[in-house]
Amino acid sequence: MADDILTVQEVAQIMKVSERTVRNWIEKEGLKAFLIGKRGYRVARVDLDAWVEARKEQRHTDSIEDDEV
């Protein structure tokens, strides 16, 4: 169960981005997270996976719409 909850640092490593980018995703892009203390976000692995899949779908839909124009 503990492996199912990720820190910002762990998400950044998995996604190969900076920790600031992960915080931006949480604060502005809809990545679900919960606060531990004042700035200690945690992300459930299932929420990260769902967020990535939703972005893939959005990107796929956007490219289809671009092709139709």
CATH class of 2-68: mainly alpha
Our separate counts of H helices and E strands in the chain read 3, 3
DSSP-based three-state secondary structure for 5: strand
Question: In angstroms, rounded to a whole number, what is the distance separating the alpha carbons of residues 20 and 61?
Answer: 27
Task: Give the pLDDT confidence score for residue 39 in this predicted structure.
Answer: 75
pLDDT digits (tens, 9 = 90+) for 23-41: 999 999 999 999 999 879 9
Where along the chain do its domains lie? 2-68
- This prediction's pTM: 0.79
Task: Give the pLDDT confidence score for residue 65 in this predicted structure.
Answer: 60
Question: Strands across the sheet with 34-36, in order?
Answer: 5-7, 40-44, 34-36
* Confidence band for 69, pLDDT divided at 50, 70 and 90: low
Q: What are the residues whose beta carbons fall under 8 Å from the beta carbon of 11, sequence distance 6 or more?
A: 22, 43, 48
